[in-house]
Amino acid sequence: MTIHTHTRAFLVALLLALPFGTALADNYTDTIKVFQNAGESGSFFGDSYGYAVFPTIGKGGIGIGGAYGKGRVYGRGSYTGDTSMTQLSVGFQFGGQAYSQIIFFEDQRAYDEFTGGNFEFSADASAVAITAGASASAGSTGSSAGASGGQSSATTRGNYHKGMATFTVAKGGLMYEAVLAGQKFSYKPRETQ
């Protein structure tokens, strides 16, 4: 086996070992409620064109890492399709983690960019992390931080960057690494009957 084949096998095994919950309708509802009640992220629901919500993203790595999660996309208050996120990362990282993520679209242009096919965050993308201790975001455009008490009493601060604002809530695990760069998203429109 080549190094590339070993790496691929390692990532597949790693992703299969991570705790993934089935993304049922109430998982989406519950996850949306967490972000609605988490301070500033709640105000984004009324002002955004739409959002993509991921109830559980599993992430893990030892030097080489990966992440995967399934989500739903909402535009103008309606469920419009399904999305999935994959991430491959190389560098200083260790551990495993499960988290929820929401991406708000400021306007139709940002929504169309995300739902137009395969979308990838640029290197300067950042997220506001809502954790039991503190929340923080850092990117090449600056950083911000805010205190938080956990999923049920979380608070957030965040702004749109290039038409999108991203928030995450840690669900479990411990991992050193907090970047969105390399996250790739696919989109499939909702089948209407």
Model confidence pLDDT, tens digit, residues 113-129: 999 988 998 766 777 87
**pLDDT at residue 183 is higher than 50:** yes
Distance CA 24, CA 155 (A): 25
Most confident of 26-35, 105-114, 126-135: 105-114
Q: What's the chain's average pLDDT?
A: 75
Burial label, 153 (beta-carbon count in 10 A; 0-12, 13-18, 19+):
exposed
Distance CA 119, CA 187 (A): 8
**pLDDT at residue 50 is higher than 90:** yes
- Distances from the Cα of 32 to the Cαs of 11, 37, 124, 158, 188, in angstroms? 29, 9, 25, 17, 20
Residues 59/18, Cβ–Cβ less than 8 Å: yes
**pLDDT at residue 17 is higher than 70:** no
Distance CA 132, CA 30 (A): 18
Distance CA 115, CA 102 (A): 15
**pLDDT at residue 16 is higher than 60:** no
At 51, the pLDDT band (50, 70, 90 cuts) reads very high
**pLDDT at residue 140 is higher than 50:** no
- With 0.75 as the threshold, say if the pTM is over it: no
Half-sphere exposure of 116 (CA within 13 A, CB side): 9
Domain that holds residue 134: 3-189
Q: What is the pLDDT of residue 190?
A: 92
Number of structural domains (the chain) is 1
